[in-house]
Amino acid sequence: MSSDKPVRTIDARSLRALAHPLRVRILESLRRDGPATSTRLAREFGENTGTVSWHLRHLAEHGFIEEDAERGTKRERWWRAIDDRQVLHTEQLRKDPTAREAVDVYLQELIQQHFQRVTAYLSQAWPDEWERSGTISNWDDLRLTPDRLKQLNAELMAVIDTYYPSADEPPAPGSLPVSIQIQAFPRRERKD
């Protein structure tokens, strides 16, 4: 997702199409692990193939995924995520009563997936070099204005962008996919 990818702002209509727990999981799987068939995704999620196929077509209809014709056959359709950067402006969508529920469903499912990734990481044994490299960090003592929080988030995103390889650069030997989760939001102070 380097900065040279096209940016798609998710509108209310697209968000309502995406805001289903299984569709969110399907899209995340295709982004994270690459192209797949409905059969493989059905196994991954414990669903029947017909249900997964219906959700795949729905995601394709709204431009989140596309058929991977180079891999497919007449009997087996492969699907891949559209290679873009998606932006969701929750502050605008939450003001739209028809989109607010979709925002909540989508974000709740993403947060569940993020939690499951951290839990899976913690439950697995890793070689020492990987154990020393990962981090789960928390800072609750920063005091920022909305503008400074926005600036912090933009700077963090810019740093991460520098680690994306170019399209023609092969992965470095010994590299593994890495999950980076940034959660930067205000919290309510306890009033005594």
Query: Helix, strand or coil for residue 21?
Result: helix
Q: What is the CATH number of domain 7-127?
A: 1.10.10.10
Q: Rounded to two decimals, what is the model's pTM?
A: 0.79
CA distances from 163 to 2, 21, 27, 180 (A): 8, 30, 23, 11
Domain boundaries, the chain: 7-127
Tell me the C-alpha distance between 117 and 114, whole Å. 5
Beta-carbon neighbour count of residue 93 at 10 Å? 19
pLDDT at residue number 2: 47
* pLDDT tens column, 96-154: 888 899 999 999 999 999 999 999 999 999 999 999 999 999 888 899 999 999 999 99
Q: What is the mean pLDDT of residues 30-40?
A: 95
